[in-house]
Amino acid sequence: AQKVTQAQTEISVVEKEDVTLDCVYETRDTTYYLFWYKQPPSGELVFLIRRNSFDEQNEISGRYSWNFQKSTSSFNFTITASQVVDSAVYFCALSEARRGNTPLVFGKGTRLSVIA
């Protein structure tokens, strides 16, 4: 069975601080995909990144970076120099890649508040 754990329920930082959101996952599959989504107060899920299980390269996109470590089953997300607009709920999610109709399994989410 798949499981995604985001141990941090809420995080509050002051603008311009760096912040890391943790994600730990469980799966029996050797092929899987990991995702991060952002959900602002308006409700839509904004896709941030997808990583497949065979690609452990870290990725950087502007102020966002992701650290994928299979050895610890973690896929952590760092925001550098946080801004008020980063305030949102962030979800880590997992899907098995074997089947075409496999659903996405979400962690409980981390609510990030960036204070000006």
Partner 1 sequence: DTEVTQTPKHLVMGMTNKKSLKCEQHMGHRAMYWYKQKAKKPPELMFVYSYEKLSINESVPSRFSPECPNSSLLNLHLHALQPEDSALYLCASSPTGRGYTFGSGTRLTVV
Binding mask 52-91 for partner 1 (x = CB under 8 A): x--------------------------------------x
Nearest CA among 2, 7, 44, 50 for reference residue 26 = 2
What region, left, alpha or beta, does residue 109 occupy, with left being phi > 0 and alpha being psi -120 to 50 degrees?
Answer: left
User: Which of 25, 35, 36, 75 is close enough to bind partner 1 by CB under 8 A?
Assistant: 35
Does position 47 interact with partner 1 (CB under 8 A)? The reply is yes
Rounded to whole angstroms, the Cα distance separating 95 from 17 reads 31
Binding site for partner 1 (CB under 8 A): 32-33, 35, 37, 42-45, 47, 50, 52, 91, 95-109, 111
